[in-house]
Amino acid sequence: MGVHLRRINQMALKQDSLEMPRKPGVYLFRRSDDRVMYVGKATDLRSRVRSYFVATPDREMIPLLVRDSDRIDFIVTKSPSDALILERQLIREHKPRYNSMLKDDKSYPFIALTEHDYPRIVYTRHPPEGSRSWGPFSDARAAKKVIQLLRRHFGIRDCPELLPQGCLAMHIGLCHAPCIEPAGYDKQVSAAMSVLDGDATRLIESLQDEMDEASRRLDYESAAKTRDLIGSVQSTISQQVVHSRFYQDCDAVGFASSGDIGVVVILNAKEGIVQGQLEYPLLHRGDISDSVSCVLAEHYASTKPPRRVLVPSPVGDSLRSWLSERRGGAVEVRIPKRGELARLRRMADQNAEAQVIRHHKNRFGSLEQAAANDAAKLLGFDSLDHVVCFDMAQLQGNERVGASVVLRNGRPSKEEYRTYRIRSEATDDLRMMSEVIERWLKHQDGWPDLLLLDGGSTHLSTIHNMLDSHGLRGRFPVAALAKREETLHIEGKSPLVLERKGRVLIHARDEAHRFVNRFHRNRRGRGALSDPLEEIEGIGAKKIQALLRHFGGRRGIEHASIRELREVPGIGKSMAERIQQHLNG
């Protein structure tokens, strides 16, 4: 982008002192201390800036802006489209007081399939060049669940590189392993693409079968989880919400605000069907056109504009031209007054109003989510909405145990807490933790935003080596948090002493420590009274009680066949085989 910067120094902000070219560019209102108060774009800098000094300005904030500013800078660009892009960058950089700005200033995630010979599926806010992408998605957690399901059902790889020996994901059925046997992988990718394009029938039917089977086993917890997965697919993949022959290739833009809280909603319609919506919360400075333009420039920077965009208020010629450039063809931007298109656009307004009410009630969000966001920003991560933390405990070599805790959006997700009894002869923390995390890996459909260890740099390198042996190194971030001075160790970064902005990680470590110590105390208390069945992975008190009730005692369990064991509520085929193998050597 070719630009030319010029500064009008310490000027009294009067119309007769404004000397600006009749060229496209960006202008910046500044205070005497250099703070940027407002950033705007113009096709003609001179006439646009002079419009701020008319007797009856068209926006309430203009007199305040002129009063609070001491000078105006301008940057000449090659075209109005370049001015639009530069304006967006400068607003992000300076966060001016009088500009509308996206809240959190972060882009929404996409699901992408890379252009490799054997495509890789990725969750990303910046789709790789040449990839095919779907999104953006406003529900990041649902999008991650869809990726997990596609990997589980179609074996789409997520590894950064093909490994000739395969990896753990291949051995636990999450990858078709094109690195070893590529035959048929293209068909699996085509099936996954069909789901992402909106035809999720095959996947949903398979999940419904899983849910029905879990219900027949009286495993209502598993059935509920599968039901939630179906909901994630339906909320993420295109849905036929509203239908009209007028809704071809168009986006309807709605806007609503309450005070300085604003929401822009974009309803996407293709082939006569409203397929979904995306909402952008933002700080609204009183000008609807400014707020809408801000969102449209952000939204279409990473997705192709449709043939028609329905807006609630006029947008500038530079934005119209830029949209056409982005599409590679004409884009009609209009404010519909009547008929089907007007009704669709008003529906976008109604959705925006509902979102404003929701955001107004939760203006500052939960303290936990704010803490997770602070820590993510501190570490340079997109998010820390899913953190898993491990800790170990032992006493004189007896009752060696481990535990993992999970934080979702900064809050403990206690139904995902897990405890582990050490099976090997390992007596040191490093080997115990390596064993436990290795077992944890085998039960994961997807990866956390961060795997956190209670320990130091030695723990970190040990777990990295273990992940490397399974072909999983680099698949997700790993960090170790040492209690001494709360020092965080991450590969490739200098040790970081956590303060207020890292409190969510300290909380995760402390919660893991509390949980594993409670489990350890319980194990020590039971001592010799522990049940041999507890040594079988996946069996807890409820399943042991169900077995004892069904067979009338331990002798009946020991002599039961696999078929008889499967008759017990909650005992499936693999569990029955583990029970028989454990009790009979």
pLDDT tens for each residue of 180-213: 888 888 888 887 887 777 666 777 787 788 888 8
User: What is the pLDDT, as a whole number, of residue 331?
Assistant: 92
In this prediction, residue 388 has a pLDDT band, given cuts at 50, 70 and 90, of very high
User: What is the pLDDT, as a whole number, of residue 232?
Assistant: 64
**Range with lowest mean pLDDT among 16-20, 290-294, 421-425:** 16-20
Query: If you average pLDDT over residues 94-107, what whole number do you get?
Result: 76
Confidence check: pLDDT of 309 > 90: yes
Sign of CA dihedral 516, 517, 522, 524: positive
| Highest mean pLDDT (candidates 137-141, 217-221, 328-332, 500-504) | 328-332
The more confidently predicted of residues 16 and 251 is 251
- Least Cα distance to 141 among 301, 302, 369 occurs for 369
User: What is the pLDDT, as a whole number, of residue 312?
Assistant: 94
Question: Based on the domain organization, do 295 and 177 belong to the same domain?
Answer: no
Question: Based on the domain organization, do 204 and 250 belong to the same domain?
Answer: no
* Count of structural domains, the chain: 5
pLDDT tens for each residue of 248-263: 678 999 999 887 788 9
DSSP-derived letter for residue 344 is H
User: What is the pLDDT, as a whole number, of residue 8?
Assistant: 43
Question: Based on the domain organization, do 379 and 346 belong to the same domain?
Answer: no
The more confidently predicted of residues 10 and 117 is 117
pLDDT tens for each residue of 39-89: 999 889 988 888 888 877 777 788 888 888 888 888 888 888 888 888 888
Residue 489 is encoded by which pair of tokens?
């160790």
In this prediction, residue 239 has a pLDDT band, given cuts at 50, 70 and 90, of very low
Question: Based on the domain organization, do 220 and 254 belong to the same domain?
Answer: no
Question: Based on the domain organization, do 483 and 501 belong to the same domain?
Answer: yes
User: What is the pLDDT, as a whole number, of residue 340?
Assistant: 81
Which DSSP string do the residues of 464-523 spell out, in sequence order? HHHHHHTT-TTSS-EEEEETGGGEEEETTS--EE--GGGHHHHHHHHHHHHHHHHHHHHH
User: What is the pLDDT, as a whole number, of residue 407?
Assistant: 93
Cα 44 to Cα 7, 24, 25: the distances in Å are 17, 5, 7
Residue 213 to residue 199: CA distance in whole angstroms = 23
Do residues 527 and 553 lie in contact, with contact meaning Cβ atoms separated by under 8 Å?
no
Question: Based on the domain organization, do 538 and 516 belong to the same domain?
Answer: no
Confidence check: pLDDT of 238 > 50: no
pLDDT tens for each residue of 336-382: 998 888 888 888 888 888 788 776 655 545 678 888 888 888 898 87
Residue 518 to residue 510: CA distance in whole angstroms = 12
- Residue 8's identity, in one-letter code, is I
Residue 495 to residue 489: CA distance in whole angstroms = 5
Question: Based on the domain organization, do 412 and 307 belong to the same domain?
Answer: no
Residue 298 is encoded by which pair of tokens?
């952000």
Question: Based on the domain organization, do 354 and 398 belong to the same domain?
Answer: no
Query: Considering just the CA atoms, what is the radius of gyration of the chain in Å?
Result: 29
Question: Based on the domain organization, do 385 and 518 belong to the same domain?
Answer: yes
The more confidently predicted of residues 566 and 542 is 566
pTM of the model: 0.54
pLDDT tens for each residue of 466-507: 998 888 888 899 999 987 778 899 988 888 988 777 888 999
Question: Based on the domain organization, do 386 and 332 belong to the same domain?
Answer: no
Residue 549 is encoded by which pair of tokens?
């009730």
Q: List the domain range (segments joined by +) for residue 546.
A: 531-583
User: What is the pLDDT, as a whole number, of residue 362?
Assistant: 56
Query: If you average pLDDT over residues 127-136, what whole number do you get?
Result: 79
Question: Based on the domain organization, do 383 and 462 belong to the same domain?
Answer: yes
257 bridge partner residues? 262
Residues 10-37 as b/e (b if ≥16 CB within 10 A, e otherwise) read eeebeeeebebeebbbbbbbbeeeeebb
Tell me if 367 is assigned to some domain.
Answer: no
